[in-house]
Each structure stands twice: as structure tokens, then as C-alpha cells.
Structure 1
């Protein structure tokens, strides 16, 4: 399965990109033919400020941010923020539509990788170059292929559904961020004290929640189970905690094993200093745990990767928090 997954993304992205390009060009009055040489030149173009430069004229091309959208932002569980900027490409000489330019940015290294998606009239060699980039560049950069495939698929879906160009209230386009959470077998505490795997929780279920102001437990109704298939199998991290009254001078001498909360690094948990992403919680910090209908403070004694990956899920609740693996976590 691990060997076939990259090829699945590769084939899916190639098919969707081709179809998407045809749909875009079908709406263009003056389509042009992108050559392989032009594709190479486009990949070499430098944009001074990707966040602010939505219109660029350089090297015989005009770049215009597609539908004036901000970058797509992906917060992966390895703590690295990845972005994709999407531009329409025109010939500066005759303003003919040549295709699309997708620029991928690794938030840790700030390294950029450009993908030139020819229009439907693009030369076969230009398409060959795009497919080669997806395969060989995508294989070397974890997280790139699912992000690129998702962006193109989503834009195509919006185009076909007539949603391209729509704005949020107030006229500003919504900034997209995709966050991922808990593995399917993570146990959610129910209001009656029982538990259920998060993948089995349904809208209307009543789960346990915590009122920090009243320092009391109560039930809260689930309004949605959120699944995140675009993440594929996300890498999980964890925090290991022990009750504050069980701490000893040596963690090795603890009377009870540390309790693990496992999720993606960006899921928020409730600490005594407020809301904090799981991956930002440090050793020594205090979190709220729930057991046998009572809450208590637990100190973090270890953090780090759990070495596991899984499809991931999260809940939306009426009170904005719930209990997973005995620890109070927050809606996103």
C-alpha cells in the first residue's frame, strides 16, 4: 500500500490537472499554446513577494493570482506548514491564456518548487515536463503530492459547480487552512462515563466536556464528526502525562505509567495557561485530565512523535471542547 499511494496521487493529480486545464481554457476567449521552452522559463521566474504579488509581469509572461485567491495552507502533523500559490499564466505579447503556475512552499526551509500546468492546447512536451515534475519532484518532497492534488481537485470542483470567484461575507476571500486531528481509535469520553472510538461518534451523541470557569464536568452534544481524507495517513505526535500528585524525582520511578494523548501536532488542547497546539506543549506544562467523573491536573513528562500514522478525525461540539484519551481537548 505504501508503494502504490504515491502513484495514486500522481495519476489522480495528472488526470485532474488535465481536465481542470481544459475547463479553464474553455472559458478563455484567446487560448494560447504553451511550449516546453516557455514552461522551463516559467519555472525559473522569481516572484518577490508571494503573499502580496497577485499580478506579476516578467520574462514575457503575465501572472495573475487565480481567482485572486490567497495561498492554500496545509498544517501537517510534522509541524511544517506547506503552502501552494496558484497563478493563471498569459503571454505578455498577446495576452493569450497559456495555463497555470502552481508554486509550492515548504514552511520550514522556505524552499519553493514550481509546477507549470499547460492549458489544453499546450505542447505534448510541456505536458511531459509537468508529469515528470509531479513524479520526480513529488517523490522527494513529503506532503507535496496530496497538497497539489487537493488544490487542483478543489479548484476544478468549484469551477464545475460555478463557485469560482465567490467571496466570503464582506468581499474578502477566505484563507484556506487544512488541519488534522485524532486517529480513528482514539477514545472519546461520553457523558455517561463510557467511551467510544472517535470514528464511531455520531452527530447528536452526548460526550463529556469541561467548564474551566466552573471547574466542572458536563455533557455536550456533538454537532459534527469531521473527517480529513485529504490528509491521507497523517503522522501523529503525543504528550505523556502523570497526575501532579504522583510525580517523583525520577520518571522511571513513577508508580503508574504515563498516560498518552495522541493526535496531530496542531490540534488544540486545554492547558493551565490556555489553548495550545499539541505540538507546542512542553515538558512540565499542566493539562486537564478526566477520570471516573472527576478532573485533575496532570503534568507533561514527555513529548514527541509516537511513530504512528493514521487517517484522522475531529469533533465539533456545542460547548467547544471534549475529552479524548482522558485529556480535555478543544474544538478547532
Structure 2
């Protein structure tokens, strides 16, 4: 009787924490409605190395390790180590966020159990499928529901306190290292084509946004501004128009343009969403061209892991989920 009550309590707590996270996180981001077919496809994705594979594409989806964190690790009195890995899930087609993938692993048996947590706007059938997984899969594996409930509750507590939950089980990274931001003087392109330093942008300002699905520029409102102080290294990529890059990528007809940000800030590449620090020479990003009133392809010709350090960084959250910095399309974190 006690075991049944405990299982029921864990199930209810997990479901409630999930719903609250969904409402608070995906209400603030550019998200898409997940279908039950997408949920099942995401569950079927096989991850070769959970500890090393933190960002990759598979079957039309992008998996990006949540807040770049290592696994939550649990050492119970039964001697079995259990882990929970969290990934944000995006659609490759439009880079919109679909939901969260939580993966449970039993280190003794090797059992791996994926749970796909839909976003707030997901189809009802997707939510029903997730609840079924909690009930019929989660309760069969000893220790699974308690670990998953703890992780989701911990993340919810972090959101309620004004930030993401901090994992003590991780690698000891400071919270600031997970920020996705730009220096104060980073030029943000406004709706009229002019620019303003990101430090001068205010909530409700109208900036130039980008709609990935239609591949068009459109005005978008700034809904939130994040400001962080500390010591932040900025990575840099130099880009030049694709048509002007010769066979020798070191030679171009125009002076390369620099885009700098914290290494984990996402940008839009020809292959989808990618952290700036993961962009490689030869990859394509997109920049605003006033002559065509749209974006054109630019190729990365040079990288630098640390261009400079700053003591204050800024990030925008927009209605469209994408805006322009240094006239280059960047994505909300």
C-alpha cells in the first residue's frame, strides 16, 4: 500500500513539475507545436555517447544539451548509479523549439529510457503519450521516477527563483558560463535598417527579426533583455560574401566582417541552429543586405576562440525567435 502511494505521489509530482516547466520555458521562447508523431520520432533517436554527444542532428531534429550541462548523477543505497540527461529539441526545418528530451540511464544494467516532454503548445495527443510513458514505463524501473521528479522539480525551482536550476552534480561550471550573450556595443539591426548598440535596446523596441520558415526578414518586438555581469570571453567569426570567396579562402574582395559573442550563443547556419563556438571555417551564415532588403549567404573564413573579454553582456528575447547582430542572423538562446 505504501509503495503504491509513493508511486502515485511521484507520478503526480513529476507531471506537475513538467507542466509548470513547459508553461514557463516555452512561453518565453519561439516554439512550435509538437505532434505525437514527432514525439515518437524523437523517442526513437539513438544517442551513441550520452556524455559526449551534446549537440547533433537526427531525423529532422536538433538535440542540444540543456544549458550545456553534464548529467544529473544519483548514487542510491542499492549501489546503482543512475543518470538523467536533458536535451532541448528543435525542428531542423525552422529551428523552432519543440520540447525537452529527458534520458534516464541505469549504469549497472545499461537500461536507457527516453521521455519526451512536449512544449506548452503541443498537441493534446503528445501530452497523453508523455503521461502514458510516465505511468507505464517510468513506474517499471526502480529509481526512475524519483530521479526524474527530482531533476524536473530542481529545474522548476530554478525558474521560479529567476534563473535556470544549477546542477551541483555537474562539472563545477559557474552559472555565468551558461549565458548566451553579446558585448554592450554589439550593433542590433532595427526595423528600419539602422542599428543601435544592444545596451541601448529596451523592451518593446522593434528590431529586425528573421522568420526561418519563410526565410524572410520582418519587424519583431523585444520581449525581454538579459544582462549579466562578470568576466566573459567572446568568440569571433569573420565572414565574407559567398560569391566573393575565391578558391583560396584566405583571399576575398571585401574586408571580412566580424561577429562576436559568447561561444554558446546560437546562430543560424545553412545546416540549422549552431552555437557560435561550434561553427567551422567554410560554413555558411546569413547577413542582412540592404540592397536586396533580405539576407544573403556569407561564408566563415576565420575563427578565434577568444577575441576579447568584457565585464557585462546582453541578450535579447524576441517574438520571432531571431534577430540581427552585426547584421548577421542570430537566434534567441
> TM-score of the superposition, structure 1-length normalised?
0.50
Larger CA Rg, structure 1 vs 2: 1
